């Protein structure tokens, strides 16, 4: 289910729902792109209680993920997933625009 060229997997939606269960109703997950990280840019994940006027809302299975317009430019075509592996569990963004990334999946270069 893609919105504005960014999609959220079923696994990610389930994990977001688990995280937000302890928050007040209507709470959303925000994903943004910030400068820094070992590859130049990094993804930030946070909890939001209000939506900004220019936010893009991606809805999947009853959860809402917010992305601001500037971050959206860096994330077009991306898929937000949740992986649970022996080395740890985390959200990962599969970004087709990234020319390189780090092993943890939270940092990338364009």
CA distance 78 to 8: 9
| Whole-number pLDDT of residue 37 | 62
Do the Cβ atoms of 93 and 31 come closer than 8 Å? Answer: yes
Pull the structure tokens for residue 20. Answer: 């937000």
Nearest residue to 62 via CA among 22, 98, 8: 8
CA distance 98 to 110: 5
Helices (H) and strands (E) in the chain, counts: 2, 10
| Whole-number pLDDT of residue 3 | 46
- DSSP state letter for 24: P
Task: Convert the pLDDT of each residue in 15-39 to its tens digit.
Answer: 999 999 999 999 999 999 988 766 6
CA distance 20 to 41: 26
Pull the structure tokens for residue 32. Answer: 């943004």
pTM for the full predicted model: 0.83
Q: Which domains does the chain have, with CATH numbers?
A: 2-109 (2.60.300.12)
Give CA 88 to chain center in angstroms: 17
């Amino acid at each position: 289910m893609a919105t504005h060229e960014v999609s959220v997997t079923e696994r990610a939606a389930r994990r977001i729902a688990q995280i937000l269960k302890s928050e007040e109703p209507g709470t959303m997950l925000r994903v943004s792109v910030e400068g820094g990280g070992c590859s130049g840019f990094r993804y930030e994940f946070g909890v939001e209680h209000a939506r900004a006027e220019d936010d893009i809302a991606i809805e999947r299975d009853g959860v809402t993920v917010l992305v601001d317009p500037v971050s959206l430019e860096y994330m077009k075509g991306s898929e937000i997933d949740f992986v649970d592996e022996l080395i740890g569990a985390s959200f990962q963004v599969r970004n087709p625009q990234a020319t390189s990334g780090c092993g943890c999946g939270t940092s990338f270069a364009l």
